Amino acid sequence: MIYIVTLNPSIDYLMSPKTLSLGITNRSEEEQIRIGGKGINVGVVLNNLGQSSTCVGFLGGFTGNHIREELKKYPLLVDGFRDSKHPTRINIKLDYKGETEINGSGHPIDASLIEALSTFITTLKPEDFVVLTGSVASGMSYDWYVSVCEALDKQNIPFAVDVSSDKLIDMISYHPILIKPNQDEICAILGLQNENLSFERLLSESKKLIERGARNIIVSLGSQGSMLITDEACYRAYAPEGVLIDSVGAGDSMVAAFIYGYVNDYSLVDAYRLACAAGSATAFSDHLASFETIEKLKDKIIIERIDL
């Protein structure tokens, strides 16, 4: 089973105001309510690809109840959440002259619930796969993620990490199958200046994360596509042509599709191709990638090999 650790899920409230000014009442022309959080996005795309998975983490209150109801729409996505007794957070997404987000912090999680989740993870088997993705819950430290990575490595359980934290550099020493930082995150953890950073320098510096333990790295390059770095080669993929509608969840879709390929014995290149198609499928639509859209885009992904 694929277990997706989802510590800080959310309801995303998307609003599209025609104008936006501080200090006055603004009105939105269109609204949408979606369940969100990186882990839930990963689980939904896995479901759409026909892969079972279980989300584990914390939900509570009326917002948590809404998320549980929405999860029932995805028959292959199992609700393994624990009740936190507090309302799950709400994130505001504003579509006005670009995408602006105001993300809620949520309520602190009781220590006994965190301990119960940690204990559950120790019961997993090498045939399982764990995805660590998204922010930690309020009051938690990213050191918790590091301790989970250490435990998974000792248990020989494969895992992937998609976490925005300087603790990522500590997590990779426990040999994650995949990490997926963007260019800004790579620069932050390696102490690089992002401005005018060449592709060649970015590749050279990213290879250091392979040397420190990561098995595979997908680096998002925005409109310039992405690259996959392994211990043998680098592969660069270029985004297919399409109209950007909503980039929220595109990176999560890439993670989901790569993991789908990995657990189903795809080659790394084929798993990467599927990941690129899934990311684009989400970006080119107003919902997370569907199987049909992924299949349609898969053959349009151009991948070139760059020998290390």
**Active-site residue numbers?**
252
Instruction: Decide if 303 contacts 218 (C-beta within 8 A).
Output: no
Instruction: Decide if 52 contacts 76 (C-beta within 8 A).
Output: yes
Can you list the alpha helix ranges (DSSP code H) found in the chain? 38-48, 61-71, 111-121, 143-154, 168-171, 183-190, 199-211, 250-263, 268-283, 291-298
143: nearest Cα among 166, 159, 112? 166
